Amino acid sequence: MTASLPLSGKTALVTGATSGIGLVTARELARQGARVIVVGRDADKAARALASIQLAAGPEAPVHVKCYDLSLLQNVRALAEELQQEISQLDILINNAGIMPGRFSLTEEGHELSWATNHLAPYALTNLLLPLLDAAGQARVVTVSSVAHWVGEIEPDREVRNSPDKYSWLTAYADSKLANILFTNELAHRLDLTGITANCLHPGLVDTGLMRPGTSPVMKALWWTARPLMVSPERGAQTTLYLATSPEVARVSGRYFADSRPARTSARAQNRTEASRLWRISAEETGIE
């Protein structure tokens, strides 16, 4: 039955696919016939995501669940190793998992939580999966950034980034989303002349769990103020799906999109020196080049 679907024969991995934009993305890719690997950190949520994807795509849809907390690099490595044992190629990698923690914390590996989850994890996962992406011939890496990058700035000094005194949850989030764009630009540059493209996007202001925990009163107030302007996760997933599947962008790489169109970024996000400096910092902090 799936033989005529547009993505049959393709394998896609979506991080943070247990809720929000990622869940819709995984569901739509499965509906279009892709074999989908759902990555989440919570086993119950992952089981519910699997059930809802199979309800939409059919009980036989090839959907696999992997439970890993990606804020830890040891888990990113374990996930990559498991995938290397199980699949021979990866056609679509969607770096979607993201967090806006609302308060300062360090992971047990000593990285600020939003930096670890939103930037180091996609940096590490993408690099570790490059052999599988390469094996696909034509592969796409799509990273979910944000319009918040406009106020982001990359702090090169890890000690400063890890200092609770200097911490602001909004800045930490914005910095990690700027890192998503700089990472994409550098990746696209490094993968030029290969069959792998790398693009990133702002999904819109989307009604998801991202700001809902509201650990900070300011965050709660922001969420209630912004809520009437928010779009559904179904709409929020459209640009990700466009970049992952549309023939229009098969050869486009190193671009930032919103509403399924190329969009403007901050000048900082286009700075080549910043992009290569971020790559160097990320390689040092992850031990992965």
Ligand X SMILES: NC(=O)c1ccc[n+]([C@@H]2O[C@H](COP(=O)([O-])OP(=O)(O)OC[C@H]3O[C@@H](n4cnc5c(N)ncnc54)[C@H](OP(=O)(O)O)[C@@H]3O)[C@@H](O)[C@H]2O)c1
Residues that bind ligand X (CB under 6 A): 16, 18-22, 40-42, 45, 69-71, 96-99, 117, 144, 146, 202-203, 205-206, 208-210
Smallest gap from Cβ 39 to ligand X, in A, equals: 6
Which residue, 30 or 97, has its beta carbon nearer to ligand X? 97
Q: How many angstroms separate the CA atoms of 83 and 81, rounded?
A: 5
Q: Which of 68, 123, 167, 173 is catalytic?
A: 173
Q: Where are the beta strands (DSSP E) in 41-188?
A: 63-67, 92-95, 139-144
Closer Cβ to ligand X, 136 or 149, answer by number: 149
- Encode 125-162: b = buried (16+ Cβ within 10 Å), e = exposed: bbbbbbebbeebeebbbbbbbbbbbbebebbeeeeebb
Shortest distance, position 60 Cβ to ligand X, whole Å: 24
The number of beta carbons lying within 10 Å of the beta carbon of residue 76 is 28
Minimum CB–partner distance for residue 193 and ligand X (Å): 29
CB of 9 to ligand X, least distance (A): 26
In 90-249, where does DSSP find H-type helix? Answer: 113-114, 121-135, 158-161, 169-190, 217-226, 233-236, 238-245
- Other beta carbons within 10 angstroms of residue 41's beta carbon come to 20
Which lies closer to ligand X via its Cβ, residue 136 or residue 180? 180
Select 97 or 132, whichever has its Cβ closest to ligand X. 97
Could you tell me whether strands 196-202 and 139-144 are parallel, antiparallel, or unpaired per DSSP bridges?
parallel
Whether 68 is catalytic: no
- Which residue, among 280, 266, 256, has the nearest Cα to 185 in the 3D structure? 256
Q: Smallest Cα–Cα separation from 128: which of 179, 193, 76, 185?
A: 76
Residue type (1 letter), 72: L
Min dist. Cβ of residue 1 to ligand X (A): 29
Catalytic positions, written as ranges: 173
